[in-house]
Amino acid sequence: MYSELTTKRIQAFNLQKGMFVSKLDMPWSATAFPIQGFLIETNEQIDQLTSMCQHVFIDLRLSKHIPYEHNIKLDIVSKPTCNNLATRINEQRKKQIKANSRIEKFRFTNYEIVSSFSREIGPAKAVYDEAAITLSDIIKRRAEINKGDMQALKAVSVKMVRSALNNPDALNWVAKINSSYKSLFQYALSTTITGVIFARHLGLEQRKIEFLTLSLLLRTIGLSKLKKSELVKYSPDNISDNYKRHLFMTLNKVATFKSLPSSVYNTLENHCENADGSGFPGKKSGHKIPMLSQIVRLVVYYDELVNPLVAARAISASKAISKVNAKVGCYFEAGLVEKFVQAVGIYPTGSFVELSDSSIGMVMEQNPAKRLRTNLAILKNAQGVNLDEPIIVDLADKKFENLVIKQSVPSTLLTPEQIVSCKTLFQPKKKRFSFLRRK
């Protein structure tokens, strides 16, 4: 039946189990997939592909399942010289190059990791605790923020940025193990730190990253004034009019601080706008939305999926990336999403994964050279038994060469107590980090 046409192009969101992927719309080297192609066997593989690719190419001969009967569009690509296909690809590339070019204009430098994970974990914890105390105190007072509060938030913003520039994994790890018990200040800090790490990856000037950090912290002012029922009903894809009030309550309050940098106010004012003009309050679109506002919009959307106030709604990191990718051209610009995926990685620090032996762990530290060979804290063993104390596993170590990450999983598979137990890994007297890679 497919003797003449053996390779076909398919939109990534139409992938199904049993299809053999022979080519991507991006370099294989940028993924963790085998360069020779592979058979889709799990939903996790589909989630990863949809998070990274717009379309892929499937080999009909090697596929076990071809959904030609399910109205799924398959574009014939057996002749790569096809003018129509070449035109479409060129148009997509031009749009991507243009978007990336605009983003790169904001790059100030390429930040290097200057402190190891083990060395930075202490300072990161101290900064997080200071930010948590400051923000929780403001929230308790229903965001009746004063001049002293603003100075405290500015100071802690600088410290958070400094720690993230030293080593982004350390601060991110601290945030994620502290966000298992859902409270507004923990939720806000998790989102803020995701934003800091993304801005670091973009190479923004340190001062701008500090403005972004302060903007994300100040966003909590309006949220704290909403009723709890309004907060728990929030959906990133269906924002109610009541929830939208948080933006205006935040702006009204921060406008009273004349010393606040104008870029912080502008970031807050525009962070609910969408790339296609469907956002609020100004219905702005594309490049009319300030870059820092676009970053806030993206990280708020992503973190709400993986770290929502209602813990039961949490989804895996890979599924969240897939949902973010699905909003390209609608909520977000393609170039920004591409950079975001690069920043957080396939398995972000603080996310949860299932290993090939069925154990469950939390990603501690990224390994850029080997995306699937990272440091983990095992919280549930292969038999499904919850561990009293986490066990650290460095997948880059040869003794774990047969152990690989199988898939990303949501935090709901673990109890808050299990996640918080990772705090014991911060005990310096146990020298738990002595085996970690020195950077």
Cite the DSSP H helix spans in 79-227. Answer: 83-104, 117-140, 147-166, 168-177, 184-202, 206-218, 220-224
Cα–Cα nearest to 311, from 418, 238, 236, 413: 413
Kindly report whether the global pTM for this prediction surpasses the value 0.85: no
Residues 340 and 343: their CA atoms lie apart, in Å, by 5
Residues 383 and 329 in one domain: no
Indicate whether 163 and 263 sit together in one domain.
yes
Q: Is residue 90 part of a domain?
A: no
Q: Do 339 and 367 fall into the same domain? A: no
CATH number of 224's domain = 1.10.3210.10
Task: For residue 14, give its domain range.
Answer: 7-80
Number of independent structural domains in the chain = 3
Last-in-domain residue among 80, 108, 131: 80
- Per-residue pLDDT tens, the chain, 439 aa: give them: 333 357 788 878 778 888 889 888 877 756 667 767 888 988 778 877 877 787 888 888 788 866 543 334 444 443 333 344 344 444 544 555 556 666 777 788 889 999 999 999 999 999 999 999 999 999 998 778 899 999 999 999 999 999 999 999 999 999 988 876 678 999 999 999 999 999 999 999 999 999 999 999 999 999 999 998 899 888 888 899 999 999 999 999 999 998 899 999 999 999 999 999 999 999 999 989 999 999 999 999 999 999 998 888 999 998 898 899 889 889 999 889 888 988 888 789 999 999 999 999 999 987 766 666 788 999 999 999 999 889 999 988 888 888 988 888 999 888 888 888 888 776 654 444 444 444 4
175 inside domain: yes
Q: Same structural domain for residues 315 and 371?
A: no
User: Do both 375 and 269 map to the same domain?
Assistant: no
| 152 and 266 part of one domain | yes
Instruction: Tell whether 201 and 217 lie within a shared domain.
Output: yes
306 with 412, same domain? no
| Spatial separation of the C-alpha atoms in residues 375 and 393, rounded to whole Å | 6
* 335 closest CA partner among 388, 287, 387, 394: 287
Among 32, 63, 80, the domain-final residue is 80
Half-sphere exposure at residue 311, Cβ-oriented, CA atoms within 13 angstroms: 14
